[in-house]
Amino acid sequence: MSPFFLEAVAADNYVAFTFFIGTMAMMAASVFFFLELNNTDKAWRTSVLVSGLITFIAAVHYYYMRGYNLETGDSPTFFRYVDWLLTVPLMCVEFYLITKKSGGTIGLLWKLIFASVVMLVTGYLGETILKEQSVLWGVISGAAYFYIVYLVWFGEVAKLATAASPAVAKANKTLGWFVLVGWAIYPLGYILGTPGGLFGMVLVEDVAAATGAMDIIYNIGDAVNKIGFGLVIYALSRSESK
Ligand SMILES: *C/C=C(C)/C=C/C=C(C)/C=C/C1=C(C)CCCC1(C)C
C-alpha cells in the first residue's frame, strides 16, 4: 500500500481523510446516478446524467486534491476552482433542464452559465493572482452569485418552475436552498481567507490550522451540495415518471 494511502487514513489527519471520504462518496454517487439511467424516463434522462457527471467530475478532482494535500500539506485551491468551473455551470444546466418544458430558453441557460463563470473567475483572481484587491473581486463575484440566487428564487427560473408543475416548483425551492445556504460556505471561506480576515479583524492566529479547517468544511459542504443537489433532481425524475 502506498504511504499516501496510509497517511490519508491516519486517524489524526482529518483534512486528508475528508478528501479520501469525499472521493469515495462522489464515486459512489456517480455509479448510482449512471446505473439509475436505465430506470429513468426518457424525458428525465439528461437531468440524471448531468447529476452523475457533476459527482464524477468532483470524484476525479477529489482524488487529485487528496494527493496534492498529502504531498504539499497545502490547500488545493487551483484544483478546487477547476472543479467548480466544470461542476457549477453543470448545476446551472440542471435549472435549464427542469424548466425547459415550461419555456426555459437557451438564453436563460447562458445567463446562468455566464453568471457562474464570472463568479468563479473573479473569485479565483481575488484568491490567488490579485490578492491585494481581494475585496473588489470578492464583491464582483458576490454580485454574480446573488444574480444566480435571484434567478432561482424570484426570477425566470422561479417563474418557469412554478409554471411547469408542483413537483418541479418544489424541487426548484429545495435547489434554491442549496444555492442560498449550501453555496454560502464558499464566500464565507473566501472572506475568512482574505488578508486581514473578516471585516479587517484578525480572526485566526494559526493560519495552517484555519486553512485545514476550511478544507474540511469545503469537503463536507461539497458532498452535501453536489450529491444532495443530484438527489433532488433524481427524486424529481421519479415523481414525474410513472
Ligand atoms: C460544487 C461546488 C460549488 C457548488 C461551488 C460553489 C462556489 C461558489 C458559490 C463560490 C462563490 C464565491 C463568491 C460568491 C465570492 C467569493 C469567491 C467565491 C468564488 C468563493
Residue extents of the structural domains in the chain: 3-241
Instruction: Tell whether ligand 1 has an atom less than 6 A from the beta carbon of residue 141.
Output: yes
Per-residue cell: 25:
462518496
Q: Determine contact, residues 190/123, Cβ cutoff 8 Å.
A: yes
Measuring from atom 12 of ligand 1, which residue has the nearest CA? 187
What global pTM score does this model have? Answer: 0.92
Query: Per-residue pLDDT for 93 more than 70?
Result: yes
Give the pLDDT confidence score for residue 214 in this predicted structure: 84
Q: Which residues contact 150 (CB under 8 A, 6 or more apart)?
A: none
Q: How confident is the model at residue 12 (pLDDT cuts 50, 70, 90)?
A: low
Lowest-pLDDT range, 8-12, 40-44, 75-79, 127-131? 8-12
Task: Summarize pLDDT for 176-230 with one digit per residue, the tens.
Answer: 999 999 999 999 888 877 665 554 555 566 777 777 888 888 999 999 999 999 9
Q: Which residues contact 229 (CB under 8 A, 6 or more apart)?
A: 51, 54, 91, 94, 175, 178, 182
Separation between Cα atoms, residue 24 and residue 84, nearest integer Å: 18
Which ligand 1 atom sits closest to the C-alpha of 145?
A: 14
Task: Summarize pLDDT for 53-81 with one digit per residue, the tens.
Answer: 999 999 999 999 999 999 988 889 999 99
Give the pLDDT confidence score for residue 132 in this predicted structure: 86
Give the pLDDT confidence score for residue 43 in this predicted structure: 94
- Distance separating the N- and C-terminal Cα atoms of the chain: 47
Per-residue cell: 65:
486534491
Separation between Cα atoms, residue 91 and residue 97, nearest integer Å: 10
pLDDT higher at 104 or 1: 104
Q: Determine contact, residues 210/171, Cβ cutoff 8 Å.
A: no
Report the amino acid identity of residue 199: F
Measuring from atom 14 of ligand 1, which residue has the nearest CA? 142
Measuring from atom 8 of ligand 1, which residue has the nearest CA? 186
> Considering just the CA atoms, what is the radius of gyration of the chain in Å?
19
Average pLDDT, the chain: 90
Give the pLDDT confidence score for residue 120 in this predicted structure: 98
Of the CA atoms within 13 Å of residue 204, those in its CB half-sphere come to 17
Task: Summarize pLDDT for 157-176 with one digit per residue, the tens.
Answer: 999 999 999 999 999 999 99
Q: Determine contact, residues 118/140, Cβ cutoff 8 Å.
A: yes
Give the pLDDT confidence score for residue 210 in this predicted structure: 74
The two counts, helices (H) then strands (E), for the chain are 11, 0
Fold of the CATH domain 3-241: Rhopdopsin 7-helix transmembrane proteins (1.20.1070)
Measuring from atom 9 of ligand 1, which residue has the nearest CA? 183
Instruction: Tell whether ligand 1 has an atom less than 6 A from the beta carbon of residue 26.
Output: no
Separation between Cα atoms, residue 39 and residue 10, nearest integer Å: 39
Distance from chain centroid for Cα 83? 8
Query: Per-residue pLDDT for 24 more than 70?
Result: yes
